C-alpha cells in the first residue's frame, strides 16, 4: 500500500465557472494550488497531482436518477422549461449555466478519482478541493450542488466491500449524503454543522439517527451560531473519536467546508482554519485510506488558505502548519496574517460563550443517550 498523497486537480476544471454573480467560486481550488506553489508546499515528498476523470452516466446513476441527469444535460445547453424548478434548478442557489454539467461531472469525477486511487493502492490519502456537493438529492439540486460527489465516492468504496466513515464538517448539514445512507450500516455518516434552527437546509437535528439497518449509523451534531474553535474541538473530541473507534472503518471520507470560518457571508460560526489542521492528524493516526474534499466557503482567499492548510496536514508537513506567531507572522487586520497559513484564532466571549457551551453540552447528552447507548460506546 502506497503512503502517497494525491491532489486532485487539472487545468480543465479551472476553465469551468458558475455565473459571476453566484457566491460559489470554482476558482478556489486553483487558488489553493497557486498558494501552495508560491509557498513551496505543493510538491511535498510522496505527493502527486492527479487529473480528475469526469464521472460517467453509470457513476452518476448510482445515486441520481437517469431522468434527473437528462434534465441536467438539457439545461446545460440553454434549453430550459418552467418544470425545471421542480428539480431545484433555476434558483439563486442553483443557477442554470452552460458549464453546469461539465463542471459537476468533473468535480464529482475528482472525488471518484480519489476513491479509485485509494482502492488500487496508488495513494493512502487523496484531496479533491473541487468536491463536497453534499446537498444534491437523487433528483433535486440544492445549495450550489447538482451531483453529490460525496455519495458517489462513498458508494465507490462500499462497492469494493469497504466500510466507510463519512465525516462532514461543512457549516451546512449534508442532507443529500444523509438521505443516501439513512437506511444503511455500510456508511457511518457524522455531520457537524451549524444548527438547522439558523441555517439551510434547516435540518440535521440530533434525533435524525437513521432507520432500519441504518439506525444509529447517521449522527448529526448541530452546533449553535457563534461556535468558536474551542467549542467545536470540545464537541468533536468528545463524540467523533469514540464513534470512529467503534465503527473501525476500512476508509474515511471527510468533507471540509471553509464556510465554518468566522466572517463567512453565508454562515454564522466563529471558527478558524486551525480546526482542520488539528483534526486531520487524528484521522491519519487510524492508518486508514482517507479521501478529503472541499465544500462551502464564500470568502475565496480565506477558503484557499484553509484548504492549503488541509493539504499540508495531509502531507504531514507539521513544520509548515505552526501557529503564525511561531513563524514570525504579522497581523495586518481584517483577519489576515502574513507569514503563515493558520488564521488568527477568534473566541466567543461572555454570555454568548456560556450559551454556546450549554447548547453543546445538551447536544452531547442527546447523542450519548441515543447513538452511544445503542452501540454501547
| Helix/strand/coil for 228 | strand
What is the 3 state secondary structure string of 299-322?
Answer: CHHHHHHHHHHHHHHHCCCHHHCC
CA distance 169 to 187: 16
Q: What pLDDT is attached to residue 349?
A: 80
Supply the DSSP symbol for 54: P
Angle, helices 229-247/350-367, rounded to nearest 10 degrees: 10
* Model pLDDT for residues 197-219, shown as the tens digit of each residue: 999 999 999 999 999 999 999 99
* Model pLDDT for residues 223-252, shown as the tens digit of each residue: 999 999 999 999 999 999 999 999 999 999
Tell me whether residue 286 is one of the annotated catalytic residues: no
Q: What pLDDT is attached to residue 280?
A: 96
CA distance 351 to 157: 45
Q: Could you tell me if 111 and 149 are in contact, meaning their C-beta atoms sit under 8 angstroms apart?
A: yes
Which phi-psi region, left, alpha or beta, contains residue 46 (left: φ > 0; alpha: ψ -120 to 50)?
left
Q: Could you tell me if 190 and 206 are in contact, meaning their C-beta atoms sit under 8 angstroms apart?
A: no
**pTM for this entry:** 0.94
Q: Could you tell me if 185 and 96 are in contact, meaning their C-beta atoms sit under 8 angstroms apart?
A: no
Which one is catalytic: 9, 64, 134, 135? 135
Q: Is the pLDDT score of 329 beyond 50?
A: no
| Helix/strand/coil for 108 | helix
Who's near 295: CB < 8 A, 6+ residues apart?
A: 131, 132, 134, 168, 170, 255, 256, 257, 258, 259
**What's the longest Cα–Cα distance across the chain?**
57
CB neighbours of residue 286 within 10 Å: 15
* Model pLDDT for residues 108-120, shown as the tens digit of each residue: 999 999 999 999 9
- What is the total count of domains within the chain? 1
Look at strands 218-223 and 5-8 and give their pairing. unpaired
Q: Is the pLDDT score of 335 beyond 80?
A: no
Q: What pLDDT is attached to residue 106?
A: 98
Question: Domain span at residue 47?
Answer: 5-375
CB neighbours of residue 45 within 10 Å: 9
* Model pLDDT for residues 3-39, shown as the tens digit of each residue: 999 999 999 999 999 999 999 999 999 999 999 999 9
Q: Is the pLDDT score of 68 beyond 60?
A: yes
More confident residue, 4 or 330: 4
Query: Which of 123, 143, 90 lies closest to 295 in space, CA to CA?
Result: 143
DSSP percent split of the chain into helix, strand, coil, nearest 5: 40, 15, 45
Q: What pLDDT is attached to residue 2?
A: 79
* Model pLDDT for residues 80-100, shown as the tens digit of each residue: 898 999 999 999 999 999 999
Query: Which of 195, 152, 205 lies closest to 176 in space, CA to CA?
Result: 152
Q: Average pLDDT, stretch 350-366?
A: 92
Q: Average pLDDT, stretch 291-318?
A: 95
CA distance 8 to 233: 28
Half-sphere exposure of 136 (CA within 13 A, CB side): 28
Supply the DSSP symbol for 17: -
- CA distance to 31, 151, 277, 283, 317, per residue, from 280 (Å): 21, 21, 6, 5, 12
Specify the CATH number for the domain of residue 118.
3.40.800.20
Q: What pLDDT is attached to residue 302?
A: 96
Q: What pLDDT is attached to residue 215?
A: 98
Q: Is the pLDDT score of 287 beyond 70?
A: yes
Q: What pLDDT is attached to residue 189?
A: 98
Phi, psi of 266 (to 5 degrees): -110, -5
Q: What pLDDT is attached to residue 232?
A: 98
Core vs surface per residue 217-233: b (16+ CB within 10 A) or e: bbbbbbbbbbbbbebbe
Half-sphere exposure of 234 (CA within 13 A, CB side): 15
Q: Could you tell me if 222 and 194 are in contact, meaning their C-beta atoms sit under 8 angstroms apart?
A: yes
- CA distance to 31, 158, 223, 265, per residue, from 196 (Å): 30, 29, 9, 17
| Helix/strand/coil for 276 | helix
Q: Is the pLDDT score of 326 beyond 70?
A: no
Q: Is the pLDDT score of 333 beyond 60?
A: no
Amino acid at each position: 500500500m502506497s503512503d502517497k498523497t494525491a491532489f486532485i486537480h487539472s487545468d480543465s476544471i479551472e476553465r469551468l465557472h458558475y455565473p459571476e454573480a453566484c457566491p460559489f467560486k470554482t476558482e478556489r481550488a486553483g487558488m489553493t494550488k497557486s498558494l501552495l506553489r508560491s509557498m513551496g508546499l505543493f510538491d511535498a515528498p510522496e505527493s502527486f497531482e492527479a487529473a480528475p476523470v469526469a464521472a460517467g452516466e453509470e457513476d452518476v446513476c448510482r445515486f441520481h436518477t437517469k431522468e434527473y441527469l437528462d434534465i441536467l444535460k438539457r439545461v446545460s445547453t440553454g434549453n430550459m422549461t418552467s418544470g425545471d424548478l421542480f428539480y431545484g434548478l433555476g434558483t439563486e442557489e442553483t443557477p442554470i449555466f452552460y458549464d453546469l454539467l461539465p463542471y459537476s461531472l468533473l468535480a464529482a469525477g475528482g472525488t471518484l478519482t480519489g476513491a479509485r486511487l485509494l482502492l488500487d493502492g496508488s495513494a493512502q490519502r487523496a484531496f479533491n478541493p473541487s468536491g463536497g456537493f453534499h446537498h444534491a438529492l437523487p433528483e433535486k439540486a440544492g445549495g450550489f450542488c447538482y451531483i453529490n460527489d460525496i455519495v458517489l465516492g462513498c458508494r465507490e468504496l462500499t462497492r469494493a466491500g469497504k466500510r466507510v466513515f463519512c465525516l462532514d464538517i461543512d457549516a451546512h448539514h449534508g442532507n443529500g449524503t444523509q438521505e443516501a445512507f439513512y437506511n444503511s450500516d455500510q456508511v457511518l455518516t457524522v455531520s457537524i454543522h451549524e444548527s438547522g434552527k439558523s441555517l439551510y437546509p434547516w435540518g440535521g437535528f440530533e434525533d435524525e439517527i437513521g432507520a432500519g439497518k441504518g439506525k444509529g449509523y447517521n449522527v448529526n451534531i448541530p452546533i449553535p451560531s457563534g461556535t468558536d474553535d474551542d467549542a467545536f474541538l470540545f464537541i468533536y473530541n468528545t463524540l467523533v473519536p469514540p464513534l470512529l473507534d467503534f465503527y473501525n472503518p476500512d476508509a474515511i471520507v471527510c468533507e471540509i467546508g471553509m464556510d465554518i470560518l468566522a466572517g463567512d457571508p453565508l454562515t454564522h460560526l466563529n471558527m478558524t482554519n486551525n480546526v482542520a489542521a488539528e483534526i486531520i492528524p487524528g484521522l491519519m493516526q487510524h492508518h486508514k485510506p482517507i479521501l478529503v474534499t472541499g465544500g462551502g466557503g464564500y470568502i475565496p482567499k480565506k477558503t484557499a488558505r484553509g484548504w492549503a492548510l488541509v493539504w499540508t496536514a495531509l502531507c504531514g508537513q507539521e513544520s509548515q502548519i505552526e501557529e503564525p506567531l511561531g513563524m514570525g507572522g504579522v497581523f495586518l487586520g481584517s483577519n489576515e496574517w502574513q507569514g503563515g497559513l493558520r488564521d488568527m484564532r477568534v473566541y466567543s466571549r461572555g454570555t454568548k460563550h456560556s450559551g454556546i457551551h450549554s447548547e453543546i453540552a445538551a447536544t452531547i447528552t442527546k447523542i450519548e443517550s441515543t447513538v452511544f447507548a445503542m452501540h454501547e460506546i
